[in-house]
Amino acid sequence: MRWLARVLVWWMPASAKARVCQEVSGDFASLLAGALEGGDAKCLEAYRAAARETGRRAARRLREELRLGNSFEDAQVAWELVSKLSGIKYHIKSEEGRSTFSHMTCPVFERGGKRLCVNFCIPMVEGMTKELCPSCGVEVVAEAGDGGLCVKALVRAKKA
């Protein structure tokens, strides 16, 4: 199969490049989270803070490049786009002021299990959501684990 490797050195489809980047970053994030879990709690919280900041930065890029605003609908589009780009297959159930995302496939979970969901994915989504829509929040409806993949909801703040 060395011939296939040589062909890929010469020409590689963009989808293959994206998959390799996704796999390497997923492996790295999972290994780092695992190493931090056994140590000082401040280290793991610093990792979560970095994930939140990653989400905020992604939101700023989405706002700048795609002209997203600060509405619930803009946050939902961002969730959909980031899910799609991450290779996550999902189903959305929309209700008044709430959109529930049920994951059917998730490379994040496949790479790092629940550890990566809790320590990277959820904080990243929280950071992205708060940056795009300060009046919105993230609710974990069901955690990922042996029973299946996570279910998260984008919720609009109730008006007083």
Cα-Cα-Cα-Cα torsion 78, 134, 106, 57, nearest 10 degrees, comes to 70
Q: What is the pTM of this model?
A: 0.80
User: 102: which 2 tokens?
Assistant: 């049920």
Q: Which structural domains are found in the chain, ordered by start?
A: 16-156 (3.30.1380.20)
Q: How confident is the model at residue 17 (pLDDT cuts 50, 70, 90)?
A: low
The pLDDT score that the predictor gives to residue 154 is 97
Confidence band, pLDDT 50/70/90 cuts, at residue 4:
low
Cα-only R_g, the chain: 17
What are 7's two structure tokens? 């062909």
What pLDDT does residue 8 have? 59
What's the mean pLDDT when you consider all of the chain? 85
| pLDDT of 55 higher than 90 | yes
Q: Does the structure show a pLDDT above 90 at 148?
A: no
> Tell me, what amino acid is at 87?
G
Strands (E), the chain: 89-95, 98-105, 136-142, 151-156
Q: How far apart are CA 78 and CA 15, in angstroms?
A: 21
What percentage of the chain carries pLDDT values higher than 70? 82
Within 10 Å of residue 16's Cβ, how many Cβ atoms? 11
Say yes or no to pLDDT of 151 above 80: yes
The whole-angstrom separation of Cα 37 and Cα 27 is: 15
What pLDDT is stored for residue 160 in this prediction? 44
Q: For the residues 7-36, what does the mean pLDDT come to?
A: 70
